[in-house]
Chain A
Amino acid sequence: MARNLKFNIFRYNPQDPESTPHMETFSLEETDSLTLFIALNRIREEQDPSLQFDFCCRAGICGSCGMVINGRPGLACHTKTKDLPDEITLLPLPVFQLVGDLSVDTGSWFRELYDTVESWIHTSKTFDPNAQEERMEDAVAEAIYELDRCIECGCCIAACGTARMRPDFLGAAGINKVGRFLIDPRDERTEQDYYEILGTDMGIFGCMGLLACEDVCPKHMPLQNQLGFLRRKMGITALKNFFGK
């Protein structure tokens, strides 16, 4: 027997002065291997063409379909309805600016983050297109790659109590991003440079260790380990600075 699914979906269009935030209910017959991606598209096609939500890759790669699914931030394209109860409540991710309905602007947030943490390799070397590429240890390359897998979906930010209470918090994705450059031998930034970015309550010391980021990250990024490592590292720098002067 196919289930009849009830969707409670947040509706609000900030562009329209008539619109007020409210929940709207849709029902849909469950089909085989139904994902929220397919379900939302069917609702939009068959029931309400004005429904706004974001998708691109539908394969958990682009990070645009993050939303709050029955209370948990997650990727809609990665979520099968068979893992959910009959009633499914969908909300846009908090923290990020609302575009409309389920669509939020994670792009601007991450853009600003990357400006703040200067998310690029800082090097004094000039690039020589004719030279052979520099070698890197396999283990180092893999460690960097592991931290680079983040798809910037924003789920860890939306799930973080700290990020919700303080808008200047870098969040797990941001802190992890700095950690990625910290282990990159090509980046010439010093311990003090990283401390400048991370060594505050806006960075690693703001994190309260609630680990919601770790528990919701759809890419299973090693956020807990990364946050622990960076807190120790920056903690040691903090002590050095405090007692060294």
Chain B
Amino acid sequence: MSLPLTANHPTLNARRMDGVLDWAQMLTGVGLIAFMWAHMLLVGSVLLSPEIMNSIAAFFENSGMAQVGGPLIFALFLAHFVLAARKIPFRLEGQKTIWEHAKLIHHADTWLWVVQAASAMVILIMGAIHMWAVLSDLPIVALKAAETLQRNKWWLAFYLLLAPLVHVHLGIGLYRIAVKWGFAGRAERRGLKRFATLIVLVSVGISVLTLFRFWFMVA
């Protein structure tokens, strides 16, 4: 426990920010969840037909929403990273501690956090690459996406990794927000976990199907 022994000790600061930052961390997470689901459904509309997807994409581009919204989402993504990074151990010492700890106590939820923090770093890099690649090469057209994937199968591998990671990170986040903030109590925890698992499975399913729809799309 730390007692204020120095004049710059953080607890002496009357206007502490930790609570506000915790809200912001949660809200940026929720914002990204909302975005990811919308994103999944918009891109997934290609499963119904490529024309539907094209017209949705065209709507967002013609109304300028993709050009403005894209960078905004990127900002949200970075803000979430900066906020959540307060909890990630970046020093080897902390990483070793949490790793040893997770191995020791065989506890599912502790592993979930490790998965969330580790997936976060991969998503940070791959998500940034993805956003750059898409937003610097508008318009979004189903056939163009298909061509990109088919011309270089590394892109397919890239998305087959990124999509499940995002959904797993998102599902764990959803679960943890509900338990941390007490929206789900002791009695609801089990059901909530099942619900989150189901959401992850369905989302990964839709995303993988979408990717293969592009993969098998005939030019």
Contact = CB atoms under 8 A, between A and B. Distances in A.
Interface of A: 68, 71-73, 91, 94, 112-113, 115-116, 159, 161, 164-165, 167-168, 170, 195-196, 199-202, 205-212, 214-216, 222, 224-225, 227-229, 231-232, 234-235, 237-239, 241-242, 245
Interface string B183-197: 111100100000000
B1 interface: yes
A205 B101 contact: no
A238 B19 contact: yes
B98 interface: yes
Task: Classify the secondary structure of A's interface with B.
Answer: helix
Contact of B1 (A113, A196, A227, A238): A113
A202 B86 CA distance: 13
Contacts of B20: 238-239, 242
A228 B180 contact: yes
19 contacts: A68-B105, A72-B106, A91-B104, A116-B3, A165-B97, A168-B2, A195-B19, A196-B11, A199-B16, A200-B19, A208-B180, A210-B110, A210-B112, A214-B186, A227-B180, A228-B180, A235-B19, A235-B181, A239-B19
A113 B3 CA distance: 11
Interface string B35-72: 00000000000000000000000000000000000000
B113 A224 contact: no
A71 B19 contact: no
A205 B19 CA distance: 6
Given A71-B105, A116-B3, A199 B180 contact: no
Interface in B11-26: 11, 15-16, 18-23
Nearest to A112: B1
Contact of B186 (A113, A205, A224, A235): A224
* List of 5 A-B pairs having minimum Cβ-Cβ separation, nearest first: A228-B182, A238-B19, A209-B180, A205-B22, A205-B18
A165 B98 contact: yes
A200 B94 contact: no
A71 B108 CA distance: 13
Contact of A201 (B86, B89, B106, B185): B86
B162 interface: no
Contacts of A206: 18
B18 A210 contact: no
Interface of B: 1-3, 10-11, 15-16, 18-23, 86-87, 89, 94, 97-98, 101-102, 104-107, 109-110, 112-113, 176, 179-186, 189
Contact of A228 (B3, B86, B181): B181
Contact of B19 (A168, A222, A234): A234
A215 B16 contact: no
Given A210-B112, A225-B182, 9 more contacts: A71-B105, A72-B106, A161-B110, A161-B113, A164-B98, A208-B180, A224-B185, A224-B186, A228-B181
A175 to B, nearest CB: 12
B89 A165 contact: yes
Contacts of A91: 104
B21 to A, nearest CB: 8
Contacts of B22: 205, 231, 235, 238
Given A68-B104, A161-B102, A207 B180 contact: yes
A224 B104 CA distance: 22
Contact of A164 (B19, B23, B86, B101): B101
Which of A68, A167, A196, A202 has the most CB atoms of chain B within a 10 A radius of its CB? Answer: A202
Contacts of A239: 19-20, 23
A229 B20 CA distance: 17
A224 B179 contact: yes
A239 B179 CA distance: 20
Contacts of A168: 1-2
A10 to B, nearest CB: 12
B107 A215 contact: yes
A113 B16 CA distance: 21
A169 to B, nearest CB: 9
